[in-house]
Structure 1
């Protein structure tokens, strides 16, 4: 799993190193459009990163809870309530990212 992540991360960094210079190469008088482009990219990252992290966090939380319930079925009530609270807190972080994305989008 760690090796796949390292390979994907390396490929993404190489892609960014190739694409960013082409994206930033602009004519002299495009500074106002450049700011809106940066705000659009920032708003995209403001929702993409929390959504990715939230999905990973929720999947791990549910996996651990189901594993605990499978090992001890009588503890399902004690495991399920904290799991739902934890999932709500993870989802709230994703919603904060969505709010930030909307705030950035309104500045464009």
Structure 2
């Protein structure tokens, strides 16, 4: 395998892991938040705020993976 093929497979791996992990995390965060709100409806706004913040942090992982993939493709 030449360098371009290895670089392509590295990009594929980065994008795969970088998109599957946040998707699973966001699903788990949403599921847990909905269960928590169902058990304690009075705390719904606090739980929702924490959920939105956690989803933003989980989504940042996908953005970081995109940046790393672009750096590997165009700079390295």
Query: TM-score, structure 2 length as denominator?
Result: 0.93
* Deviation beyond 2 Å, 4+ runs, structure 1: none
Of structures 1 and 2, the larger Rg is shown by: 1
Task: Kindly report which structure 2 residues correspond to 1:1-108, keeping only aligned pairs within 5 A, or say none.
Answer: 34-107=2-75
Deviation string 1:38-69 (CA, Å, 9 cap, x unpaired) is: 00110111111021011000000000000000
Point out where structure 2 has 5 or more consecutive residues left out of the alignment: none
Q: Provide the secondary structure at the position in 2 that maps to 1:36.
A: helix
1:72 Cα deviation after fit: 1.1
Question: 2: distance between equivalents of 1:91 and 1:38?
Answer: 27
Distance 1:42 1:49, change over 3 A: same
Q: Which runs of 5+ in 1 are unaligned?
A: 1-23, 25-33
Higher relative contact order (CA 8 A, sep 6+): 2
